[in-house]
Amino acid sequence: MGKKEKQFVEEITPMEVDFPQWYTDVILKTDLVDYSPVKGFMVIKPYGYAIWENIQSYLDAKFKETGHKNCYFPLLIPESLLNKEAEHVEGFAPEVAWVTHGGKNELSERLCVRPTSETIICSMYSKWLKSYRDLPYLYNQWCSVVRWEKSTRPFLRTSEFLWQEGHTLHETYEEAQEETLQMLNIYKEMCENLLAIPVVTGRKSDREKFAGAEATYTIEALMHDGKALQSGTSHFLGQHFTKAFEIQYSDREGNLANPYHTSWGVSTRLIGGLIMVHGDNRGLVLPPRVAPTQVVIVPIAAHKGNVMDKVDEIYKDLKTSIRVEVDDRPNYSPGWKFNEWEMKGVPLRIEIGPKDIENNQVVIFRRDTLEKQQVSMDNLKETIEDLLNNIHNTLFTKALEMREKKTYAVSNLDEFKKILDETPGFIKAMWCGDEKCEEKIKEETGATIRCMPFEQENISDKCLCCDKEAGKMVYFARAY
């Protein structure tokens, strides 16, 4: 390792030494994000935002394929609307920002900055919906929301974050259930196929569900440090809100009925997951499909002969289907550039120098395996495309193996605590379904039920906590 390389690496605290510091070092030094003058609010810098744009365009296409349309509802919600659904207001009122003045005038009613938009959207749906012929309503919005958080970390928990929120209405219970699970499945597929992150899917316990939901479904991912990250949720809201907001329509028999309701969302939190699943002590490792730059070309001895011509030729060839950049900054050495792009997690680097041109080859460096190889310039685009797919698959497999290694089946609380202290991860255990046991485990260990997974296993016959009969296997973990 040369001096320059060392310098770069030393800027990032090794994750084994201090994982939270490693995370902070990575997000700041790779220019993903910065702290803002407002406590708990982050600035998403261009490199971080470009990742979000890739997530957005992937999901937005899926939403549209499945018949959803985008729209936009007001940022501010009157207090009286927030108060309409009892569980909802209890869950959200303590963490909203209140607007009390417009210009110099005090408002007659306080407005909260939306923490989520069920209430304002339902107030509109109740105005719009007339007949079963109008159903389903399949709407989504991309926006920011504000939740006043006491302790924050960029991407993972901030007082403002970017997200999408889908809000749908359906004629029947079954149709709404189907929608809830369809959207969860789209999230899962996006995590796997775009972010190379394996997720466990399942249902939240009542204690952990969305305020106002009948059932919340979740995708849960496991981070390097063995903590879980709730990465997306889809809520079956039943008729809780549609009754509270008097959303009624005339059904097929001509009677007034309340529709069934879902909502679902993912946020910029996913970027935090991306970092903590794939990153290493050199910095980011970005899966190719979501990487803002998939390939960087670094010319070697750029001043010599036809190097820049060849670089330009390859660049033009690749960029028809690949997000490629040329780093031709004159003031930086190739070694410096290598290190910077490695830290920024660009999946592939191409080096081209005079000798490579002579030999009709280029040098390719893979960020995921840190391997260098020489490949022919012939069919270079196909080679690169194959490599990018290979990197995606390699990262996914590695993440899956990591998760499997850190997933434990446990049948007693002592073992449970030992694992959490020594080798944290997902713990599969049986639960009787009693909230008291859930509470007790949380108090004693800091771990929560992440989900009741769709894929069940029988680990024992008794509840981990109370020894009562238990037919339900759940995933526990400490979580972000």
Return the ∠ at Cα 147 (arms to 146 and 150), rounded to 5°.
Answer: 135
Kindly state whether residue 379 participates in binding a second copy, applying the rule CB under 8 A: no
Q: Are 42 and 49 in contact (CB under 8 A)?
A: no
When asked if residue 90 is in the footprint of a second copy (CB under 8 A), the reply is no
CB of 5 to a second copy, least distance (A): 22
Q: Does 36 bind a second copy (CB under 8 A)?
A: yes
The reply on whether position 160 binds a second copy by CB under 8 A is yes
Tell me if 146 contacts a second copy by CB under 8 A: yes
**Position among 1, 65, 94, 360 found at the interface with a second copy (CB under 8 A):** 94
Nearest to 8 by CA among 431, 345, 254: 345
Binding test (CB under 8 A) with a second copy, winner from 50, 181, 300, 466: 50
For residue 72, state whether it binds a second copy (rule: CB under 8 A). Answer: yes
By three-state DSSP, how is residue 360 classified?
coil
Residue 355 touching a second copy (CB under 8 A) = no
Cα–Cα distance for residue pair 140/171, rounded to 1 Å = 18
Q: Give the span between the Cα atoms of 349 and 344, in whole angstroms.
A: 12
- The answer to whether 322 and 381 are in contact (CB under 8 A) is yes
Task: Out of 20, 67, 74, 305, name the contact with a second copy by CB under 8 A.
Answer: 74
Burial 66-96 (b: 16+ CB within 10 A, else e): eebeeeebebebbeebbebbeebbebbeeeb
> What six digits make up the tokens of 162?
């970017």
Q: Do 364 and 371 touch, CB atoms closer than 8 A?
A: no
Could you say whether residue 20 binds a second copy (CB under 8 A)?
Answer: no
Tell me how far apart the alpha carbons of residues 1 and 265 are, in angstroms, rounded to a whole number. 44
124 binds a second copy (CB under 8 A): yes
Q: Quick one: 114 or 227, whose CB is closer to a second copy? A: 114
Q: Which stretch binds a second copy (CB under 8 A): 140-148, 275-283, 379-387, 396-404?
A: 140-148
| Number of chain positions touching a second copy (CB under 8 A) | 55
Q: Does 386 bind a second copy (CB under 8 A)?
A: no
Does 54 interact with a second copy (rule: CB under 8 A)? no
Question: In the bound complex, what is the minimum distance in angstroms from residue 178's beta carbon to a second copy?
Answer: 21
8 A C-beta contact, residue 262 and residue 236 = yes
Q: Does 14 bind a second copy (CB under 8 A)?
A: no
91 near a second copy (CB under 8 A): no
- Give me the residues paired with residue 297 across strands: 326, 350
Contact flag: residue 67 with a second copy (CB under 8 A): no
| Distance between CA atoms of residues 448 and 441, nearest Å | 7
What residues make contact with a second copy under the rule CB under 8 A? 34, 36-38, 41-46, 48-50, 52-53, 69-78, 81, 93-104, 111, 113, 120, 123-124, 127-128, 133, 139, 143-144, 146, 148, 159-160, 162, 331
